[in-house]
Amino acid sequence: MLVENPIRKKLLVDKLTAVWESSVIATHGFLNENDIIALRPFVEAAIREIDHLIVAYENQGPVGFMGISKDKLEMLFLDPVCIGKGIGKRLITKAIWEYGVSYVDVNEQNPNAEKFYKHFGFTIFERKEADEMGNPFPVLKMKLRE
């Protein structure tokens, strides 16, 4: 079940931050424990403040989420046990068709994410040497093919 723009109480933010952390540990091997600890406050703030937050639930608990601002997918994370179950597909499809998402940034060192977005029609149009916070993690800027 997908829930759009739920009330962002501390308990939900904490649960989604835990989903983010488990997802990042499983998919972002280039980040070390200190990187994850440093990023956590920014992720919590983004979850609280993003324009559109869509949460995927399974068995009464959140197992994934995405955040959208204007026409850009700012974040999409799944509990690692849910990767490959079609939840990411449901989220990105909703983002494209209902929210008009046409842009996403992907860490270059996360080739599975790049492949996922390419499957849905995104192509790379720019590469940045660092992420938005200036960290040395190359970012691929992708846009939806027209």
Integer Cα distance of 105 and 111 in angstroms: 12
Q: 51-89 pLDDT, tens per residue?
A: 999 999 998 899 999 999 999 999 999 999 999 999 999
Q: What is the pLDDT of residue 140?
A: 97
Is it the case that residue 124 has pLDDT exceeding 80?
yes
On average, the pLDDT of the chain sits at 94
- Alpha-carbon separation of residue 51 from 68, 70, 75 (angstroms): 6, 8, 12
Nearest residue to 18 (alpha-carbon basis) of 73, 78, 66, 74? 78
pLDDT of residue 132: 86
